Chain A
Amino acid sequence: MTARSLSTRRDGGIAEAASVAVIACVFVVPWVSENPMIYSLANQMLIAITAAFSVYIMLRMNLMTFAVPTFMAIGGYTVAILGLRHGVTDVLLLGVASFVVPALFALPLGALVLRLTGVYFVLVTFVLTEITQLVLFETPGWTGGSNGLVGMPAVTFFGIELGDNRAVLLVTTGLALAGATITAMVTRGLRQHFAAIEENELLAQSLGLVVWHYKAFGFAVAAGVSGLAGFALVNMLLTAHPTSFSPLSSVNYIAYAIIGGKGSMLGPVVGGALLIWAGEIFALRGEYSQFLFGFLIVVVVLAARDGVVGTIYRLGVRLVSPGPSSSSLKASPAALRVPTATEPQP
């Protein structure tokens, strides 16, 4: 981890608060516009951002996850099955279920896979998404197989049906807001613990931090946040289909987080919004948007490791106070000390 990203993270909870506030602002959209294109764009952005939050949580522990589609599928299919087969349509109940079921699924899984780090963790999560895809196709009794689950009833809020475009956007915004709030609370509340794990897991452990507690908790929360994104996606499409959760869609969510910047919670927000906007506004659909994402990943990794947000932050710091910022950027080893491991644990 660089001194820059550390300094970005030490700026209070501004990034977290700003992320939550930006998402909350989308509640206004249905009242100021009736343009279906804007609704569609906002829906896609919010789903992308929520899924990218999941990647962000794991990146805070230096774990790159490809498992987002897996947990999105669990959340999405949970909602679809509850609605279709059990008649549950209340948005609050479904929202809780779409968070809790993937999180519960992640706990025993995390106990197994979180022993792995680095490349092995990447590979195990990639394999997991492949297995999920095959399971979705091979279990038609549960998941509808290659047909998926269709004909879901509209969700309701205290008996009011939320079926039109405006209501769907409100539901997506609510789910994204819940995801953002949970992400902010967890990454802010455990920032020092996560930073210790990211910086040097072995050292943190040797200094008394029960690392696997935090990793398992972070993994479960990330899974839950993915589940919320899965709910939003299924609710928008009105179908739960395996192709909505393809293994390589995880690449997009990683791209949003990396290109936006993994050093702050604003990164996934900016990355998700920017890339979805670029893909839609410039009519860069399908293959073109993939090329753009790929190109941006290469550029960001080679030239701007902190992503869009981190780079803007760094340039801003330089412009405002060139003297002190340069010294803070070249932080001494003491400044990079990981304080968490020595602190009392909750």
Chain B
Amino acid sequence: MQGFVATGLIGISLGAQYALLALGFTLIFGILGVVNFAHGGFYVLGGYLAYSAVTFLGMPYALAVVCAALGTTGLGYLFERFALDRLIDDHLATLMLTLGLYMMMSSGILVIFGPQSPAFAFPLTGVIRGYGFFVPVENLVVLGICIVGILSIYGLMYHTDFGRALRALADDRAVATAQGLRPTVLFPAAFALATGLAGLTGALVTPILSLAPHIGDPVLATSFLIVILGGLGSVGGATVAAFLVGMVEAFSAVYLGGSKGALALFVLVLVMLVVKPSGLFGHRVRGA
């Protein structure tokens, strides 16, 4: 029973991390209509920026996380503003652009930092034990930050003018533009917000899991699973699906072993795509 509860807590922690990651992915698709193949790359970059800030600049970890998030935000803004924006309505072209960027990012990191995983540990360690459960401290801290991050995104999207403007652009760009909203300003900001979330997740999670140049590949696959399951472009769907995936992953790792749980999830998502492409909570998706 103790193991069951502990696994559940790990699953919730994983789900929160995935939610923070997938929110960025689904925001980009929902608002810009872009499938961001570079999302895993921004996650890895966030991890390496935080690692560099701590190791080479001697920053405290918390400040390094902020710097990593800001760094990926800035890169995302520049990429959207000067590359993606020119082809924003062409789904396949934007997909190829982000794919190209991902290849450049992951190989650039590999060239600079080498293939070995650097020693990048979470500053807090230990285990909290309670009646019938135990949970690592770092998982709890990350869980807390992720929940704050998720709630902030919800607040931003549903309770600010910026969020309303983004949602208006996602609903009907022509009408929103006629009402005075400026896609050339808001789209780069939305992309930057999403890549910042990926960088933040990378900086928070890689000290617990692992940091290596190619960990973006499974992260990208997980993001795909979550947004397809939840519904491409659906913020609520992505959050629910992220926790679902986190729980399945945690329990299958403990009780099934190997990659059987992942296989089951992928098959579930394949069936979902074929039967209901819009996902559990998705609506009609523009251009897809």
Chain A: residues with CB nearer than 8 A to chain B? 62, 64, 112-113, 115-120, 122-124, 126-128, 130-131, 134-135, 137-138, 247-248, 251, 254, 258, 286-288, 290-291, 293-298, 301-302, 305
Contacts and interface: CB of A to CB of B under 8 A. Distances in A.
A34 to B, nearest CB: 34
Interface string B244-261: 000000000000001110
B217 A119 contact: no
Contact of B106 (A112, A254, A290): A290
The listed residue with most B CB atoms (<10 A of its CB), out of A128, A135, A297, is A297
Interface in B95-113: 95-97, 99-108, 110-111
Nearest to A63: B92
A127 B273 contact: yes
8 contacts: A64-B92, A116-B277, A118-B92, A118-B287, A127-B225, A294-B103, A297-B99, A302-B83
Nearest to A128: B270
B221 A301 contact: no
B86 A291 contact: no
A149 to B, nearest CB: 19
A337 B262 CA distance: 47
A301 B100 contact: yes
A134 B277 contact: no
Interface of B: 29, 35, 83, 86-87, 91-93, 95-97, 99-108, 110-111, 213, 217, 221, 224-225, 228, 232, 258-260, 262-263, 266-267, 269-270, 273-274, 277, 285, 287-288
A291 B269 contact: no
Contact of A127 (B86, B107, B270): B270
Contacts of B102: 294
A123 B35 contact: yes
A124 B176 CA distance: 32
B274 A112 contact: yes
A276 to B, nearest CB: 16
A298 B110 contact: no
A119 B35 contact: yes
A64 to B, nearest CB: 6
Contact of B232 (A112, A119, A301): A119
Contacts of B35: 119, 122-123
Given A291-B111, A297-B96, A302-B86, A118 B101 contact: no
A251 B262 contact: no
B97 A119 contact: no
User: Which 5 pairs of residues, A with B, have the shortest CB-CB distance?
Assistant: A294-B103, A297-B100, A294-B104, A291-B107, A298-B100
Contact of A131 (B96, B270, B288): B270
Contacts of B86: 302
Contacts of A135: 263
A115 to B, nearest CB: 7
A197 B269 CA distance: 27
Contacts of B106: 287, 290
The main secondary structure of chain A at its interface with chain B is helix
Contacts of A288: 107, 111
B271 to A, nearest CB: 9
B104 A291 contact: yes
Contacts of B258: 137-138
Contacts of A117: 288
A305 to B, nearest CB: 8
A127 B263 CA distance: 10
Contacts of B270: 124, 127-128, 131
Contact of B277 (A120, A247, A298): A120
Contacts of A305: 93
A246 to B, nearest CB: 9
Contacts of B111: 287-288, 291
Contacts of A120: 273, 277, 288
B108 A291 contact: yes
A124 B287 CA distance: 16
Contacts of A115: 274
Contacts of B287: 118-119
A100 to B, nearest CB: 24
Nearest to A248: B217
Contact of B97 (A131, A251, A298): A298
A128 to B, nearest CB: 7
B170 to A, nearest CB: 15
A301 B97 CA distance: 7
Nearest to B266: A131
A258 to B, nearest CB: 6
A301 B95 CA distance: 10
Contact of B263 (A119, A122, A124, A131): A131
Contacts of A302: 83, 86-87, 97
B114 to A, nearest CB: 10
B107 A294 contact: yes
B263 A123 contact: no
Contact of A124 (B95, B107, B259, B273): B273
B100 A295 contact: yes
A138 B224 contact: no
A111 to B, nearest CB: 10
B45 to A, nearest CB: 14
A123 B273 contact: yes
Nearest to A64: B92
A62 B287 CA distance: 13
Contacts of A123: 35, 224, 228, 273
A258 B29 CA distance: 23
A120 B270 CA distance: 11
